[in-house]
Amino acid sequence: MYQHITTAMKGQWTLLSSLLIPEAGEYKLTTDPAVMHPALCAANKKNLQASSSSPFVTGQLSSIGVDGFNPTSEKILDGTYNHPIENEVLSELVYHLQRVCPPLDIAFSDAKVNLKRFRSAMAITPEKTSSSPSGIHYGIYKVAMADDYLASVFANLASIPFRFGMVLHRWNHVTQVMIKKKPEPYIDKLRIIELFEGDYVGMVKGIMRTMMNHRWEHDIKGLVTFATEVGGSTHLAIVSRVWAYDVAQIKRCSIATLDNYSVGCYDRMAPSLLSLLLRRVRLPDNITQTFIHQLLFRQRKVQTAYGLSDII
C-alpha cells in the first residue's frame, strides 16, 4: 500500500479508466465518463465538506469567521477569549490556540532572498513531478532557473501574492487525480491527490521549512508527531511502540496503548481553524491569508483517462 501510494506521488500513476459504483446493494463497473465524472465529483465534494459540522464552522466558535480573521479569532490567539465553553475538550483546545512564540519574519521585499528561496525549492523537486493545471510544469521552471533574469522574474512573481496576502488566479485551479487504494477501482476506496501550480508549491515548501525551523528554535514540538518533525521518520511511530512493549515485558508490568488515528483528518480541518493554527506559531498574517484564500477559493476538477470533469 505504502509503495503503491509513493509511486503514485512520484507521478507514475495510471489515470482511472473504470469505476465501481454501489448500486442496489452491489458494485457496478462502469467505463462511461458521463457516469464516472459526476459520481467522482459528488464523492469528492462530500469528502471535502467533512468539516462542515465542526464547532469552528457551525457551533459556538463559528464566530471566528470563514477565514479566521476577525476580533474573535484575535481574542483566542491573545488568550483573552472569555466566553464560557460547555465542552471541556473544546475549551482546552481554545486555550492551546494562544500564540506561543515570537513573530516569524519572512520578508518578500528582497529580490535576492526571493530568488534564493525559489531556486532552492525548485532544485529539490524532481522534474517529472506532476503539477500545474495551467501547463507550466517543473521542467519549465528548472530551465528558467539556469538564467538569472528569468529566474528572478519567476521568483518575484511567485513572491508578490504572499507579500500582500493575495492569490494568483491560476493558483485557484486544482486538478484531482484519484489513486486506487485497492487493485479494483471502488469509488469509496480512492485516495485524492491534488495537483497545484508548481510555483505555488515551491513557495509553500520554502515557507513551511522556515516555519518548522522556527518551531524547533522555540521548542514547539508535537509530542506524538513523527515524520512531520525535523529529522523525523514514519518508522519512529512503530519503533516507539516496540520500545514501549519491550520495556513493559522487561519490567513485567501492564500497559495500555491508544491509537489516535483521525480518519481523513486533513479533510476535516476547517480553514478558519487552520488559520488560527498557523498564526499560533506566528506565521505572518499576509502569508496565512494567501494559504487560506487559496484553500477557500479552489476550483477543483477530477482527471480520469477520459479527460477533466466539470468544476466540483
3-state secondary structure the chain: CHHHHHHHHCCCCCCCCCEEEEECCEEEEECCHHHHHHHHHHHHHHHHCHHHHCCCCCCHHHHHCCCCCCHHHHHHHHCCCCCCCCCHHHHHHHHCCCCCCCCCCCCCCCHHHHHHHHHHHHHCCCCCCCCCCCCCCHHHHHHHCCCHHHHHHHHHHHHHHHHHCCCCHHHHEEEEEEEECCCCCEHHHEEEEEECCHHHHHHHHHHHHHHHHHHHHCCCCCCCCCCCCCCCCCHHHHHHHHHHHHHHHHHCCCCCCCCCCCCCCCCCCCHHHHHHHHHHCCCCHHHHHHHHHHHHCCEEEEEECCEECCCC
pLDDT digits (tens, 9 = 90+) for 243-282: 989 999 999 999 887 766 655 566 667 899 999 999 999 9
- Beta carbons within 10 angstroms of residue 178's beta carbon: 24
- Distance between CA atoms of residues 210 and 142, nearest Å: 22
pLDDT digits (tens, 9 = 90+) for 119-140: 998 988 888 888 889 999 899 9
- Beta carbons within 10 angstroms of residue 119's beta carbon: 20
Do 154 and 243 lie in one domain? The reply is no
**What is the mean pLDDT of the segment spanning 88-116?**
89
Nearest CA among 123, 83, 78 for reference residue 97: 78
Do 111 and 244 lie in one domain? The reply is no
What is the predicted pLDDT for the residue at 266? 60
Do 213 and 237 lie in one domain? The reply is no
Do 64 and 191 lie in one domain? The reply is yes
What is the predicted pLDDT for the residue at 13? 60
Do 169 and 128 lie in one domain? The reply is yes
- Beta carbons within 10 angstroms of residue 307's beta carbon: 11
Whether pLDDT at 2 is above 50: no
Mean pLDDT rounded to a whole number for the chain: 87
Strand 173-180 vs strand 190-195: parallel, antiparallel, or unpaired? antiparallel
Do 76 and 93 lie in one domain? The reply is yes
Do 176 and 190 lie in one domain? The reply is yes
Do 174 and 93 lie in one domain? The reply is yes
Q: What is the pTM of this model?
A: 0.84
Amino acid at 58: T
Do 106 and 249 lie in one domain? The reply is no
Do 246 and 271 lie in one domain? The reply is no
Do 182 and 255 lie in one domain? The reply is no
Give me the number of domains the chain comprises. 2
Structural domain of 247: 225-259
**What is the mean pLDDT of the segment spanning 303-309?**
94
pLDDT class of 189 with cuts at 50, 70, 90: very high
Do 119 and 236 lie in one domain? The reply is no
For the chain, first and last CA: distance in Å?
28
